């Protein structure tokens, strides 16, 4: 039986983390690096702080400049994609507007970044794992809006419902190849995506009033769940979604 330390040892693994410049993505890159993985951070802008943190942990870091709104750019990068043992689909965007005035462009952009790009990356990474017969881990960052409807966020809600369905569909097809696919649904986390809510006194108070833990989450609150789902310890866990929400869904 593998020792406890070995159950969470990622030495020799290579992880691709999308949207790793800040927030949950940066936390993911640092958490996996601390466990021994080398990191490729994918995004449209440089991420020097993430790179410095990963290298400071003694791990290699590579920046992949890819605009996830550009399908041609994604396809070009995927044509030469290196081998990965872990994929964390974190990159996401949210647009807010009343349903009756919701712009088609905001629908298209959010679905592309949050769902279509995640599918394309997962498919490519899984192909590499299958071709080489390597075990692998794919983690999708879902949301409380994978379960609820939300207000003024039609495209984000649709995408996050989709990412949870995609997680389960991929898990069914990849389990026999020793590739697990799971999701993490963060609660209300203090990141760029929730800045507008935190800046709205009424909305912020209403949100905090429903969270049993009584506080906004921090990206670091997701680190233990992420490490578990990426590590050898979770080899028989697939198609699952872990909520890290301070009790929101239990309320």
Instruction: Give helix 154-174 / helix 117-132 axis angle, nearest 10°.
Output: 10
Q: Is the Cα dihedral 221, 225, 226, 227 positive or negative?
A: positive
Alpha carbons 125 and 120: distance in angstroms, whole number: 9
The DSSP element (H or E) to which 179 belongs, if any, is strand 179-186
In the sheet where 241-244 sits, what is the strand order? 61-65, 38-43, 14-18, 86-89, 136-141, 179-186, 241-244
Dihedral angle over CA of 110, 112, 117, 119, nearest 10? 100
Instruction: Give the active site residue among 156, 188, 228, 236.
Output: 156
Scanning 35-116, the segments in alpha helix (DSSP H) are 48-56, 71-78, 104-111
User: Do residues 244 and 221 make contact, with C-beta atoms less than 8 angstroms apart?
Assistant: yes
How many other CB atoms are there within 10 angstroms of residue 119's CB atom? 16
Alpha carbons 241 and 142: distance in angstroms, whole number: 8
Does the annotation count 156 as an active-site position?
Answer: yes
Q: Tokens 């593998």 label which residue? A: 2
User: Do residues 190 and 217 make contact, with C-beta atoms less than 8 angstroms apart?
Assistant: yes
Give the active site residues: 156
């Amino acid at each position: 039986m593998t020792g406890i330390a070995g159950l969470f040892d990622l030495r020799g693994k290579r992880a691709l983390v999308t949207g790793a410049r800040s927030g949950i993505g940066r936390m993911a890159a640092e958490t996996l690096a601390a466990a021994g993985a080398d990191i490729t951070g994918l995004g449209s802008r440089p991420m020097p702080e993430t790179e410095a943190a990963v290298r400071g942990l003694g791990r290699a870091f590579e920046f992949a400049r890819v605009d996830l709104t550009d399908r041609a750019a994604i396809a070009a990068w995927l044509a030469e994609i290196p081998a990965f043992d872990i994929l964390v689909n974190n990159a996401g965007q949210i647009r807010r507007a009343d349903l009756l005035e919701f712009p088609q462009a905001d629908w298209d952009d959010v679905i592309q970044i949050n769902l279509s790009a995640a599918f394309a990356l997962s498919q490519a990474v899984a192909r590499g794992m299958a071709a080489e017969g390597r075990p692998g881990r794919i983690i999708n960052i879902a949301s409380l809006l994978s379960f609820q409807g939300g207000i003024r966020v039609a495209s984000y809600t649709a995408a996050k419902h989709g990412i949870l369905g995609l997680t389960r569909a991929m898990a069914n097809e990849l389990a026999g190849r020793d590739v697990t696919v799971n999701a993490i649904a963060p609660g209300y986390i203090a990141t760029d995506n929730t800045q507008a809510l935190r800046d709205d006194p009424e909305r912020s108070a209403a949100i905090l009033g429903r969270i049993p833990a009584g506080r906004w989450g921090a990206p670091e609150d997701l680190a233990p769940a992420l490490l578990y789902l990426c590590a050898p310890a979770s080899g028989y866990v697939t198609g699952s979604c872990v909520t890290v929400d301070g009790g929101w869904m239990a309320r």
